[in-house]
Amino acid sequence: MNLEMATTAETQVTAAATFAPPQSRLSWDISTSLAKSVLQLCLIALLAYGSFLLISRYVMQSVQVIGASMSPTLKHSDYYLLNRLVYQFREPKPSEIVVLRDPTDNSFAVKRIIAREGDSVYLKGGRVYLNGQVLVEPYLPPHTQTFANPKVKEQFFICGKGQYFVMGDNRNNSADSRIFGAVSRQDILGVIVR
């Protein structure tokens, strides 16, 4: 019986030694698991950054208005949302406030669309005429006058194919189409959401 117990005890010790994971196998499992976790975190970070770039480039973006050319409609230093997706489905419309690439220095500017392809704009005596009719502008303070470029008394423009005439709401303090002419559709990035 002693011999039988000793053999059983020996078998148990051998069995326990057989089932115990080797030290190198345990460290391999931990390092593999850690590598998978790091890889998953990197993949999540890459997807998040890619989503951010996609959304801010083609869908919605936060913009800060710098300057007073759109005052009193938009305030200097305030933040607004720029809807970049809307113009993938339709063309810009008159009276919309847009962000565009300024043709004079390639910076960004915020202006209001006054006229589009095929429209004529005539500036004379403090008034804006769109296609021969006085332009009604309820978004401006009452009795606001709009003068032509300071170098001339009157100006006449016709928007060509894919062109838009834009002006700032602060008509006495805005570098706009009166100076640089109509802007092309490809330079209009999106519409301001207020």
CA nearest to 111, candidates 92, 130, 128, 125: 92
Confidence of residue 60 (pLDDT cuts 50, 70, 90): confident
- Known catalytic residues are 69, 111
- What HEC string does 46-61 produce? HHHHHHHHHHHHHCEE
74-92, pLDDT tens digit by residue?
999 999 999 999 999 999 9
pLDDT at 184 over 80: yes
State both tokens at 40.
Answer: 């998953």
Q: Whole-prediction pTM value?
A: 0.74
Confidence of residue 16 (pLDDT cuts 50, 70, 90): very low
- Cβ-contact 119, 112 below 8 angstroms: no
